[in-house]
Structure 1
């Protein structure tokens, strides 16, 4: 697994996230309980899934 430095720990607040581009792909980086998770910013409908603000689906 490759490692990439994308931000400082202090740049991502607890329960926060940032969106970065790695090798041409949009990736959401999430911080949960001082652990970091990277998720490809795509859903099956090809729309971004790590939106800047939560959406409310009805």
Structure 2
């Protein structure tokens, strides 16, 4: 996983967490859901990148 990808994914995760927190504080269910979805998307991207990194380690490519 490239450093740029890591930073981008973490930034997306943090933005999602912020949205969800604001949604919680304001009882805005739409904002809560958007935040949760952004976090899930970022985590899925991170998982995919970890799998690619592991494959590179195993297969040496």
TM tier relative to shorter chain: under 0.3
- Which structure carries more helix by proportion? 2
Of structures 1 and 2, the larger Rg is shown by 2
Using the size of structure 2 for normalisation, the TM-score is 0.19
Using the size of structure 1 for normalisation, the TM-score is 0.20
- Which structure carries more strand by proportion? 1
The structure showing larger relative contact order (alpha-carbon pairs under 8 Å, at least 6 residues apart) is: 2
